[in-house]
Amino acid sequence: MALRFSGVDPNTGHGESPTVWVDDERRELVVQGYKPDEQLLQQIHDNPAPDHTPGIPDHEYASACRSA
């Protein structure tokens, strides 16, 4: 897997998140962010994406990205 750096939120401080890379081979985005708190995880569960099961599947995880 060869990741290609895509960008970092310019409104965060030096060395902060979020940061995004692209895996062209697998057609995936890789996002570095903060671990979400329980309140955010509950909001994700309560507001599922269209045609998706509520919550986050065991093989996935959520990443929170904060911007100024």
User: Which residues, in sequence order, are CB contacts of 2 under 8 Å at separation 6+?
Assistant: 23, 24, 25
pLDDT, tens digit, 9 for 90 and up, residues 39-51: 988 998 999 889 9
Q: Is 27 left (phi over 0), alpha (psi -120 to 50) or beta?
A: left
Determine if the pTM surpasses 0.75: no
Give domain limits for the chain.
18-47+55-68
DSSP letter for 34, please. Answer: B
pLDDT at 6: 92
> Is the CA virtual torsion 21, 23, 24, 27 positive or negative?
negative
What does the mean pLDDT of the chain come to? 83
- pLDDT for 34 equals 82
Task: Decide: helix, strand or coil at residue 48.
Answer: coil
